[in-house]
Structure 1
Amino acid sequence: MPSVAPFARSIRPLIAAAPLLVLVACGGGDRNAAQDGMAGQTPEVGYVVVQPTQAPVTTELAGRTSAYKSSEVRPQVTGLITKRYFTEGAIVRQGQPLYQIDPRLYRASTNQAEANLASARATAEAARARANRYKPLAEQQAVSQQDYTDALAQARGAEAAVKQQQAALESAQVNLKFTTVPAPITGRIGRSLVTVGALVTSSQADPLATIQQLDPIYVDIQRSSGDLLALRRSLAEGGAVPASASVQLMLEDGSEYGPRGTVEFSEVVVDPNTGTVTMRARFPNPKGLLLPGMFVRARFTQAIDTRAFLVPEQGVTRDPKGNATVLIVGPENKVVQRTVKAVRIDGPNWVITDGLKPGDKIITQGTAKAMPGQTVKPVPASSRQQIGAPPAQQQGAAPAKGN
Structure 2
Amino acid sequence: MAASEAGDSSPGHVLVLNSGSSSVKYQLIEMATGTRLAVGLVERIGESTSRLVHTPAAGEEARRERTGRVADHEEALRAMAEELSADGLGLDSPELAAIGHRVVHGGRSFTEPVLIDDHVVAEIERLVPLAPLHNPAGLAGIRTARRLRPDLPQVAVFDTAFHAAIPPAAARYAIDVATADRHRIRRYGFHGTSHAYVSRATARLLDRAPSDVNVIVLHLGNGASAAAVRGGRCVETSMGLTPLEGLVMGTRSGDIDPAVVFHLMRVGKMSADDIDVLLNKKSGLVGLCGDNDVREILRRRAEGDPEAALAFDIYVHRLRKYIGAYYAVLGRVDAVVFTAGVGEHAAAVREAAVAGLEGLGLAVDAERNAARSGAARLISPAGARVAVAVVPTDEEMEIAQQTYTWVKA
Structure having the higher helix fraction is 2
Q: TM-score, normalised by structure 2?
A: 0.20
Structure having the higher strand fraction is 1
Higher-Rg member (1/2)? 1
Q: TM-score, normalised by structure 1?
A: 0.20
- Higher relative contact order structure (alpha carbons within 8 Å, sequence separation ≥ 6): 1
